[in-house]
Amino acid sequence: MITSHAAKDVSVIFRPWFKLSMLAVIALSMVTFLLWIPGLLSSFLISIILVYILAPAVDFLERRGWSRIMSILALLFSILAVVILAGVLMSNLLVNEYEKFASNLDEYSTLLNNEFKRRMFDLEKQLGLDRYEAGQHLIETGQEKMSQAVIFTGTTFATLMTWIAVVPLLLFFFLLDGYRIKRTFVGFMPNRYFELTLNIQQKTSEIVGSFIRAKMIESVAVGICAYAGFLVVGLLFDNLNYALFLAILVGVFNVIPYLGPLIGAVPVLLVAIVQYVLLPQLSAETGMVAASAPSWAPVMAVVVVLLFAQAVDNVYLIPVVLGGSVNVHPLIVLLSVLLGAKMLGITGMIISIPLASMVQTVVREVALGIKELRH
């Protein structure tokens, strides 16, 4: 009788409801822990995205006879060397551009705001309008949000330190023990869904990995196109201020489908309008000697550069680079960007799209797998 009870108690561990309950408890505990420490959730998500980017390179080295730990260390140290080299070669230019842009952003916004007030006052006198508080509030709110987005004020120093300390460690252990983690997760699933879960995990890794790597290539290419175009504008007119930093912003925000190009264009157009139109106009009004006369031609040239970069993206990069990867639905893009911005600010907006592709792929593969089980 005692043996029968013991066997019955032990068998509970292998029952489907117990496995799923334990999996839910572990997942809930992990999410609670990630939300408890500032910056830890974003570090975890960034590490997951980097794993998808770097895992194929680690697997390649391992197939060439390297041990997995040596493959990971060689790859991470190579990336560190490239980052240090790029920092030595470009840090002065990029850091100076960032610092100048961040310090002048309030001045640029004020100039644009004053010009808006002046134009609206003239329109009020011509048309007999009484108030324009709604438009004024809209532009002030837009300036505040753009300032937070562009100079990353939403990212605190503590969060940056958490990223620097935690992301490399998480990345190392995820690359090293990723297969064990996946096997452990699959082991929690009931036997009936074991093969289904394994297939979903493999397909998700392939599809999402290709999507994230393709988005990275796409963003780098768009940023390079934008920077080359800004240099051409500088040859035809005066050099565009902060060209390198603005091109990086254009490339980074291009990760976000539909909304990203618009967000990335805002600081570029702000700088172009202030530099080529408002500052020369202000100098002429105050009697100061301006470097050039006010002109909208350079601004239009910058607009052409942005449109050209997007044309290259949509005509060539998306069909060729992203053609075989998952296509995230526009509604999912909008909801994920809004949720990411609410939880993690600008960082959440950028990493929300790869995460949304993961969720969409998992949901789709689960639905297809369940449909196959029923037949």
Nearest to 108 by CA among 238, 297, 269: 269
pLDDT (tens digit, 9 = 90+) per residue, 173-219? 999 888 888 777 777 776 777 777 777 777 777 777 888 888 888 89
Q: How far is CA 217 from CA 220, 255, 275, 306, 320, in A?
A: 5, 10, 31, 18, 11
Q: pLDDT higher for 127 or 273?
A: 273
Nearest to 361 by CA among 204, 225, 239: 204
Query: What is the percent of the chain with per-residue pLDDT over 90, rounded to a whole number?
Result: 19
Mean pLDDT of the chain: 77
Q: Are 212 and 47 a contacting pair, CB within 8 Å? A: no
Can you give the pLDDT at residue 305?
96
Retrieve residue 17's tokens: 């409801």
Cα separation, 312 vs 261, whole angstroms: 13
Global confidence as pTM: 0.74
For the chain, the domains span: 37-187+197-374
Cα separation, 53 vs 212, whole angstroms: 7
Cα separation, 168 vs 172, whole angstroms: 6
Per the listing, tokens 């909208």 go with: 296
pLDDT (tens digit, 9 = 90+) per residue, 27-40? 666 667 666 766 77
Cα separation, 4 vs 375, whole angstroms: 38
pLDDT (tens digit, 9 = 90+) per residue, 103-132? 777 777 777 777 777 766 666 666 655 554
Cα separation, 101 vs 29, whole angstroms: 42
Q: pLDDT higher for 339 or 26?
A: 339
Q: Mean of the pLDDT values across residues 90-115?
A: 72
Retrieve residue 105's tokens: 């952003």
Q: Which residues contact 374 (CB under 8 A, 6 or more apart)?
A: none
pLDDT (tens digit, 9 = 90+) per residue, 327-368? 677 788 788 888 887 777 777 777 888 888 778 877 887 777
Instruction: Answer yes or no: is pLDDT of 99 > 50.
Output: yes
